Structure 1
Amino acid sequence: MNHNYLISIIGPTAIGKTSLSIAIAQHFKTEVISADSRQFYREMQLGTAAPTTKELSAATHHFIHHKSVLENYNVGAFEQEALSRLYDLFETHSEVVMVGGSGLYIDALTKGLDDFPQVNPSIRATLNEEFALHGIEPLQIKLKSLDPQTYESIALDNPHRMIRALEICIGSGKPYSSFINKDKAKRKFKTITIGLTAERATIYERINKRVDQMMAEGLLDEAKKLQHLQHLNALNTVGYSELFKFLDDEWTLDFAVSEIKKNSRRYAKRQLTWFKKNDAVIWFDYQTSLKEILESIKGEMS
């Protein structure tokens, strides 16, 4: 019988995952693994809504600000490191909490990654160059031709996902989708997934307020310090790429902030689309009491 439980807290950005994860960790006297791919980087504090110093002191966290934007880090490396850390934690805790909004990273830890073939790095370099010169539309057209199934399911406005799918198609001569959802290694724990959600208008309002708060706390100054590194993959993300446009005199500040809000709302929509594919998620309104959520978790353990 499996007595190790990973309690995974998911939901769209700005919904309240961090505070809930800490409360649950405190209840079970355990620790928290972050699966937010933007919060890994120590230089990106404000724009990623990383836990505050006070929140980090309320429960031990792992995979928060443990990397630099100058380091190459990907979901495969996270899977290996996080799985090792998780099994170490299970030596002294029956329950561990995971929190984050990065669906691919969450799935990597809970289910394992799909096994893709190695392809020539020059393919990605060529695709990146094509994207830089001509934008994302030619990549979309190419993917639709090579792999219609992935074209219908992928986030078409996400160049990183688009390029990843294309490099597999081109490098292997097979559709990216043909490598998806094959048999994976079994995990030696049970995952209990708690989802937080709200009406769309409420989610969008919370996002807008969070962006305003980030700006008030100094996000623009943080972006200025990172402007010279804007070419790095880690910084090609919502909250920073828009402010770089302002700092490069391409946009006004008001427009850049409005774009952060718009792109954050789009990101939240994509998050929910990803999470809704998991039928095992137990969904709660974001205002649900901790007591009710804990009762549900304990019910899953019985």
Structure 2
Amino acid sequence: MTNKTLLCIVGPTAIGKTALSIAFAKAYNTAIISSDSRQFYKEMTIGTAVPEKEELDAATHYFIQDRSIFDDYSVGDFERDVIQLLPKLFTQNDVVVMVGGSALYEKAVTYGLDDLPDVPHEIQQEIKAEFENKGISWLQEEVQKNDAEYFETVDIHNSHRLIRAIGIFRVSGKKMNELRTGKAQKRNFNIVKIGLTAEREELYERINKRVDIMIDRGLEQEARELFPHKNLNALQTVGYKEFFDYFENSYDYDEAVRLIKRNTRRFAKRQLTWYRKDESVKWFHYKTRHTEIVQRVSKKLMD
């Protein structure tokens, strides 16, 4: 039985995962792996809520702004890189912390990826052509029509993810959950999952405040600088795409901010839908003192 443990901190956006991860990193004098798939990119700082300098200085972080939006970096690449990194980190400490709200990336490390069918290039191109002609709302409608369960958890603003789902359905005629094997990859470390949650209205208030802070810090200017590259997959992200549409005169500034808040709330709801299906997550209210959570988890690790 291994004594090495990957401690995963999960939950919806704006709930306070970063602060809790640092509390654990300090308690165990260990490193933090970010599984936030948008914080990988060095060009995206404000809109992805990259940890502050003092937070980054409080512990060694991995997978924070170490990629470019022009890099082709998949969830499979992330799984490979983390699994290769962990043995090195476990030589330094028995516990490593992983934190982030990108559920598929966390699942890839803790559970493994399902072996989904390949989609022929010509089918991918057909779907992409329809997307370019009809827009992302068409992708969303196609996925919702063919795989309503997957639609409840997927990031509906991630065109790459939606195109993939449509392609898999066209090739196999099967929904995502029908193709998932339910067999976890064997990992040579223990996995403990800690989730933070809040009452819906409290969470929505925190999200709205976070968006206001991002606006004050210059999210609009950051989006303007990235606007020439708006079709890159990395930029199909809440907080950027709404401003891109504003720059194209689809609506006014106030509407852009309103949509960022609304779409972030919807994203948080999808995150919770995903994580609540995972019975291995031990949930704590976000107001629970970090010292109490650390103590309770430490007791569990020693049992």
Q: Residue 258 in 1 paired to residue 258 in 2?
A: yes
Deviations 1:94-142 (A, max 9, x none): 0000000010000000111101233222322221221222245655665
TM-score norm. by structure 2 comes to: 0.93
TM-superposed CA distance for 1:295, in Å, is 2.0
Q: Say which is worse superposed, 197-206 or 150-159, in terms of deviation.
A: 150-159
Which structure 2 residues correspond to residues 168-207 of structure 1 after superposition, within 5 A?
Answer: 168-172=168-172, 174-207=174-207
Contact map agreement 1:70 1:232 (CA 8 A) in 2 = yes
Contact map agreement 1:140 1:151 (CA 8 A) in 2 = no
Q: Residue 96 in 1 paired to residue 128 in 2?
A: no
Deviations 1:194-233 (A, max 9, x none): 1111111110111111111111111111111111000101
**Runs ≥4 residues deviating over 3 A:** 135-145, 147-161, 171-178
Question: What residue ranges of structure 1 are gaps of 5+ in the alignment?
Answer: none
Question: What residue ranges of structure 2 are gaps of 5+ in the alignment?
Answer: none
Which structure 2 residues correspond to residues 123-272 of structure 1 after superposition, within 5 A?
Answer: 123-136=123-136, 139=139, 143=143, 148=147, 150=149, 154-155=153-154, 157-158=156-157, 159-172=159-172, 174-272=174-272
| Distance in structure 1 (CA, Å) of the matches to 2:267 and 2:144 | 22
Aligned residue in 2 for 1:295: 295
Q: Residue 113 of structure 1: SS of its match in structure 2?
A: coil
* Aligned length in residues: 301
TM-score norm. by structure 1 comes to: 0.93
State the one-letter code of the partner of 2:197. Answer: T
C-alpha spacing 1:42/1:258, structure 2 compared with 1 (3 Å): same
Identity of aligned residues (%): 47
TM-superposed CA distance for 1:299, in Å, is 2.5
C-alpha spacing 1:174/1:208, structure 2 compared with 1 (3 Å): closer
Contact map agreement 2:152 2:270 (CA 8 A) in 1 = no
C-alpha spacing 1:257/1:58, structure 2 compared with 1 (3 Å): same
Q: Residue 47 of structure 2: SS of its match in structure 1?
A: helix
TM-superposed CA distance for 1:85, in Å, is 1.0
Deviations 1:179-208 (A, max 9, x none): 213434201111111111111111011111
State the one-letter code of the partner of 2:114. Answer: D
State the one-letter code of the partner of 2:109. Answer: L
State the one-letter code of the partner of 1:286. Answer: Y
| Distance in structure 1 (CA, Å) of the matches to 2:163 and 2:11 | 26
Aligned residue in 1 for 2:39: 39
TM-superposed CA distance for 1:79, in Å, is 0.5
Contact map agreement 1:140 1:156 (CA 8 A) in 2 = no
Q: Say which is worse superposed, 126-135 or 274-283, in terms of deviation.
A: 126-135
State the one-letter code of the partner of 2:181. Answer: N
